[in-house]
Amino acid sequence: MTALHVSRRVSIQLTAKELEIVTKSIQQFQLGEGSRGQRLLDRGRKFGRSVSDPYFAEALDLFIREEQQHSRYLDAFMESQSIPLVSRHWVDTIFRRLRGLAGLELSLTVLATAEIIAVPYYRALRCATGSAILKMICTRILEDEANHLKYQASMLARVSFGRPAVFQRALSEMHKLFLQGTLFVVWREHRAVLEAGNYDFHRFHKEAILEFFNWDYTRRTAAAAIPTARRLIVRNSGRVEPHV
């Protein structure tokens, strides 16, 4: 998909009230979207080599680049509104440390959590402003996130393939609990934007959990299709099937 052009030229898009509501919130999201993702990419390359899949890391790299593009959209808009960037925030620091300490599977799970929560957040931000440019940015990010969630579901299905079903269910429940806890943190930090977008906590929670269930269904469906896909690949290539 062609990248948006977001002008950095000063052009007042936000009212004084909107500026007060969104400034700290979009500063945090811009920071979170801009991760370099080098450790994640390194782990992806290692996994790709272990399963003889040279395209795994390439797809992961494209995903990271699209996330960084979201950061640039917000960066350009913020510059046009004289909103300064921030270099760190405690929530972003915790998420980065979790990803840094984790392996590939947990790193992708933490990222999926952020993507799931981003869906109701950007819907709320789009409704909270009269700025046509910010609305356009939110719409593009939401379109991308829909594809990102499908991608992450398929990647996690690949990474966790072969685990016992009971273990898979336990991981899913733990992921849901982590999501639930993160929702309280995000509500606390971004309540002003969410409420300005006509979201109370119940609506925010409901939409995020629905996104999780849809994502988890996609992940389970992808996992169920892996054995057939692998057999077809092996048959067509004449290679020995790799072990995960």
Which pLDDT does position 235 carry in this prediction?
55
Domain-embedded: residue 6: no
Which pLDDT does position 146 carry in this prediction?
94
- Asked if 115 and 145 count as a contact pair (C-beta separation under 8 A), the reply is yes
User: Max Cα separation, the chain?
Assistant: 65
Domain-embedded: residue 38: yes
CB-based contacts of 56-63 (< 8 A; 24+ apart in sequence): 56/155, 56/158, 59/151, 59/155, 60/155, 63/148, 63/151, 63/152
The amino acid occupying position 160 is S
Task: Write out the two tokens for 166.
Answer: 């009971």
Distance CA 85, CA 72 (A): 11
- pLDDT at residue 28 tops 90: yes
* Tally of domains in the chain: 1
Please report, for the domain that includes residue 28, its CATH number.
Answer: 1.20.1260.10
Domain-embedded: residue 217: yes
Mean pLDDT calculated for residue range 157-176: 84
Domain-embedded: residue 137: yes
Domain-embedded: residue 55: yes
Residue identified by tokens 């057999």 is 231
CA-based end-to-end distance of the chain: 33
Distance CA 83, CA 85 (A): 7
Domain-embedded: residue 135: yes
- pLDDT at residue 239 tops 60: no
C-alpha dihedral, 156 to 160 to 161 to 166, nearest 10°:
-120
Distance CA 46, CA 56 (A): 10
Quick one: CA dihedral 174, 175, 179, 185, positive or negative? positive
pTM, two decimal places: 0.87
> Minimal CA–CA distance to 9: which of 63, 77, 62, 69?
77
Which pLDDT does position 244 carry in this prediction?
46
**Percent with pLDDT over 70 in the chain:** 89
Binned at pLDDT 50, 70 and 90, residue 99 comes out as: low
Binned at pLDDT 50, 70 and 90, residue 211 comes out as: very high
- Asked if 127 and 198 count as a contact pair (C-beta separation under 8 A), the reply is yes
pLDDT digit string, tens, across residues 120-144 = 999 999 999 999 999 999 999 999 9
Residues 6 or more apart in contact with residue 207 via CB below 8 angstroms: 119, 120, 123
Domain range spanning residue 63?
16-236
Which pLDDT does position 11 carry in this prediction?
83
Domain-embedded: residue 5: no
Per mean pLDDT, which of 66-70, 162-166, 193-197 is the most reliable? 193-197
Residue 3 has what DSSP assignment?
P
Domain-embedded: residue 242: no
